Structure 1
Amino acid sequence: MVDLEDIRAVTEGLPRSYEVVVRDRIKFRVGQIVYLALSRDEKTMGIGFPKEERAAAIAAYPEKFLPPSKADERYKWIEVNLAVLDEEELRELVLEAWRMCVPKKVAAEYFGE
Structure 2
Amino acid sequence: MLASAYVVPNVHASGPIYAFFATACSARPPPRTVHGMMTLVPCEIPDFLDLVSQLPGVGRSDRDKWLRFDVDRRAFGYLWPATRTVGLKQTIVEQLALVAERPDVFEVQFTSGGFGWVVVHLAGVERDELAELTFEAWRLTAPDALLEERADELPS
2:67 corresponds to 1:30 = no
Deviation at 1:23, TM superposition (A): 3.5
Query: Unpaired runs of 5+ in structure 2?
Result: 1-41
122, 126, 140: which one aligns with 1:100: 140
C-alpha separation in 1, matches of 2:125 and 2:52: 16
**Distance across 2 between alignment mates of 1:41 and 1:112:** 32
Which runs of at least 4 in structure 1 moved beyond 4 Å after TM superposition?
Answer: none
TM-score (norm 1): 0.84
Q: Which runs of 5 or more residues in structure 1 are unaligned?
A: none
Match of 2:104 in 1: 63
After the TM superposition, which residues 11-22 of structure 1 pair with which residues of structure 2 at under 5 Å, given as runs?
11-22=52-63
Q: CA deviation at 1:88?
A: 0.3
2 CA distance for matches of 1:80 and 1:110? Answer: 24
Match of 2:112 among 63, 70, 74: 74
Larger radius of gyration: 2
Q: What is the aligned-residue RMSD (CA, Å)?
A: 1.9
**Relative contact order, higher structure (CA 8 A, sep 6+):** 1
User: Paired residues, what number?
Assistant: 110
Partner of 2:48: 7
* 1:60-106 C-alpha deviation (Å, 9 max, x unpaired): 121221111xxx33352111111111110111111110011112332
Candidates 71, 74, 85, aligned match of 1:44: 85
Q: Compute the TM-score of the two structures, normalised by the length of structure 2.
A: 0.63
Q: Specify the code of the residue in structure 2 equivalent to 1:37.
A: Y
- Alignment-mate amino acid for residue 94 of structure 2: E
The 2-side partners of 1:111 and 1:53 are apart by 21
Give the fraction of aligned pairs with identical amino acids, expressed as a percent: 25
